[in-house]
Amino acid sequence: MRAVHVFAICAMATMGTTASAQEIDWKKVDEALGRTAAVSGDVHRYGFPRTDLQVTLDGVTIRPTLALGGWAAFKPMHGGAMVMGDLVLLETEINPVMAKLIENGLEVTAVHNHVLRSSPLPFYMHIGGHGDPVRLATAIRTALAESKTPLTPPAPPATPPAIDLDTAQLDQIIGVKGQANGGVYQFAVPRRDPVTENGMQLTPPGPTGVATAIGFQPTGGGKAAITGDFVLTGEEVNPVIKALRENGIEVTAVHSHMLTEQPRLIFMHFWANDDAVKLAKGLRAALDKTASAKS
């Protein structure tokens, strides 16, 4: 999700030279994927929102930026790039997409739900790979062509959808500054300690999928639908489950996204539709059970 934001990385071979962002021809990567990246530090992140889907959950039509935002992030590493990503798929699309990924040398590291009860019910396929970034990009696009994922980026709306919420109060409660994206108010809360894969620190944490992601979609009258995922170590899982449930927030999935990260991480997805300030306080109570960075 990531509007809100999750990903996986394959095990990577050690090579003699380390590519820098300047050594990669990012224009060719853009061309292979048919869109331009959002750039954060040395990470180039590409979005694949499922704007073709009309997903409803508990009477709420889910915006792509809340829970239908597939993505792939590229980071220079060992003479090439590592890629991690999360593809949003319908059940019938899972096996055709997986077959193309495997055929073209990418790894599948998780397949699971993020939400419950929605119609239709989307699934999320986490992927990873390492090597020539243009080859990786071509493989991802070839795999996505087996689904109905739009392969051209959506045109931006003439007027961005309004966020009818007290965002300043939400910022204060959550403890980080959020940002509006496609009608959803999004937060990325990094962990206090670094997360590494094969000795490489996964930074920035938001674009590489290792920050807790929270999205608020206004549903009228100061209410919001919330979803996202907490990024947790094993000992944090049950305290966070308890805190969320005590505050009226449903836990919808608990699972891994990656295979060999350090520390080992568990991702917890959630859902509620209620007063936005009330829900923010519940999320803050859960964040207080984690080793999250303080603003």
Residue 146 has which token pair? 């087996």
Q: What pLDDT score was predicted for residue 90?
A: 98
Q: Alpha carbon of 238 to those of 47, 138, 228, 254: distances in Å?
A: 32, 40, 17, 10
User: pLDDT of 225-244, one tens digit each?
Assistant: 999 999 999 999 999 999 99
Q: What is the mean pLDDT of residues 239-253?
A: 98
- Beta-carbon contacts of 60 under 8 Å, excluding residues fewer than 6 positions away, are 217, 219, 225, 273
Q: Are 149 and 45 in contact (CB under 8 A)?
A: no
The overall average pLDDT reported for the chain is: 91
Q: What is the pLDDT of residues 185-223, one digit of tens each?
A: 999 999 999 998 767 788 999 999 999 999 999 999 999
Q: How far is CA 150 from CA 41, 88, 125, 282, in A?
A: 27, 11, 16, 35
Q: What is the pLDDT of residue 94?
A: 98
The residue that leads in pLDDT, 17 or 128, is 128
- Using an 8 Å Cβ cutoff, are 114 and 106 in contact? no
Mean pLDDT across the stretch 99-116?
97
